[in-house]
Structure 1
Amino acid sequence: MRVVAYYRVSTGAQEKSGLGLEAQVDYVHSAARQQGWEIVAEYTEAVSGTVAPQDRPECKKALAHGLPLLVAKLDRIGRDVGHIADLMKRTSLKVATMPLADNFQLHLFAALAEQERSFIASRTKDALRALASRALEGDASSLAKVARRSETLARGRTPANRAKAGEAVQQRVTTWLDTVQDPVDLCIRKGARTLPQVAQCLNEKGVPTSRGGEWSPMQVKRVMAKLSLSF
């Protein structure tokens, strides 16, 4: 079967590092070899997943071939279920990490992924509330963390500004998790079976932690839990 490969990296960290793109190319070409698909063309662009696929210049070129569209992971074509459903009316979609899934199954996966993102956002809010609760109970470590957050949020004196600051923090966490999901998943798929092995794989690839340092097994464990990844 002849297919057209499409890669999307988000604007910002992924676009600058190229790590998201490297993982996607690996996924796509591995799936093509395993399934016997012939990749006749490849298109790449840096654009937000909130933009409909049909409104992206490079995606338009890919769709113009009239062939099945092959992406590394479902969220690379989009994060909006409506956008994905509309795209499936126009072409057959193939996903490297789920090569045997048909359009109906992919639609279900997209809906589940959207729900999972909502759960992640909810868990982040719950964690912040738990931190505040422990601080009120006198936990020294939590008090220090809340103090740092309060100092940052205090720059915006109004409730609206404080709310915006909190949303910005949550958005940065979500964005960073998006940038490391593919590298972590790829390390596991390439044979890493322990937390130290995943940490070593990420460090060898030059993938930085959220603070720009090297990975430790404990950091890997926390990130895998947030991303719902397992061995």
Structure 2
Amino acid sequence: MQHYVIYKRVSTADQGRSGLGLAAQGRDISLYLETYSPEPFEVIGEYLDIQSGKDADRPELLKALDHAKRDKATLLVAKLDRLSRKVSFIAHLMDDPKLDLRVASMPYADKFQLHIYAALAEQERDFISQRTKAALRQAKERGVKLGGLRDATMKRNKVIQLQADKRAEKLENVVVPMRQQGATLRDIALALTSAGIKTARGGQWQASQVKRVLERLEKQ
């Protein structure tokens, strides 16, 4: 029988009390168990932390890890960022031969793929935090005070293009190898979405958007 230890995490006490985020995690975990898990299976433990994903010292996570390894169960989380937002922490878990880990939203991902997704997600978060300041700084360096609506529009468009170029560069080491290995645009879009990487507008990836990223990289 397949045994599971489930771990969930929300970032704030308000989320913990209201159930915000927990319902979605529970839904994804249930979907994995009902659709992808070998049968029969049994959930032998559930743990919840109300704490930032940046903190590695989370008491319930430590209990969940110990429980899973002690009983030779699979640690199951809804999304990779519920486990941690630090790629170094994810890598440490991947190197543990006693730990079997599954991510509900990426049911077929192996440890190597999860490591790549963790690295991408961390990179994306850093990029998002820096891109606005960088774009404004570069726009300022390229010109003087904007003189009119047309100038402002042109300048804004340049900033948008700069952001798009930088975003494409951040994804190059993933989308290009996947494409070269025969992955479809849809496959790549699903992989980016599963990794928790948002589009420029904060949505999920579509094949057409992956195509534009690849075309942008070809022009650079």
TM-score computed with the length of structure 2 as normaliser: 0.57
In 2: Cα distance, 1:82 partner to 1:25 partner: 26
In 2: Cα distance, 1:22 partner to 1:39 partner: 17
Measured against aligned partners, the alpha-carbon deviations of 1:175-226 in whole angstroms (never above 9, x if no partner) come to xxxxxxxxxxxxxxxxxxxxxxxxxxxxxxxxxxxxxxxxxxxxxxxx8534
Q: Give RMSD over aligned pairs.
A: 2.9
Structure 2, unpaired ranges of 5+: 153-197, 207-220
Corresponding pairs, count: 148
1:40/1:28 CA distance change after superposition, 3 Å: same
Matched residue type, 2:61 = C
* Structure 2 counterpart of 1:225, from 185, 197, 200: 200
Matched residue type, 1:118 = D
Q: Check the 8 A contact 1:4/1:41 in 2, yes or no.
A: yes
In 2: Cα distance, 1:35 partner to 1:77 partner: 20
Give 1:128 deviation, angstroms. 4.8
In 1: Cα distance, 2:139 partner to 2:63 partner: 48
1:9 corresponds to: 10
1:102/1:137 CA distance change after superposition, 3 Å: same
Give 1:138 deviation, angstroms. 4.8
2:104 corresponds to: 96
2:87 corresponds to: 81
Give 1:15 deviation, angstroms. 3.9
Structure 1, unpaired ranges of 5+: 144-222
TM-score computed with the length of structure 1 as normaliser: 0.55
Give 1:104 deviation, angstroms. 1.8
1:51 corresponds to: 55
1:200 corresponds to: none
Identity of aligned residues (%): 48
In 1: Cα distance, 2:27 partner to 2:121 partner: 22
1:159 corresponds to: none
1:116/1:41 CA distance change after superposition, 3 Å: same
In 2: Cα distance, 1:22 partner to 1:139 partner: 49
Give 1:28 deviation, angstroms. 0.9
Measured against aligned partners, the alpha-carbon deviations of 1:102-149 in whole angstroms (never above 9, x if no partner) come to 112211111111111122123232455589799941568xx9xxxxxx
In 2: Cα distance, 1:136 partner to 1:39 partner: 62
In 2: Cα distance, 1:32 partner to 1:135 partner: 58
Once the two structures are superposed, the pairs formed by residues 22-171 of structure 1 within 5 Å of their partners are 22-36=23-37, 37-52=41-56, 55-65=57-67, 66=69, 67-88=73-94, 89=96, 90-126=98-134, 128-129=136-137, 136-138=145-147
1:129/1:8 CA distance change after superposition, 3 Å: same
1:137/1:97 CA distance change after superposition, 3 Å: same
Give 1:64 deviation, angstroms. 2.5
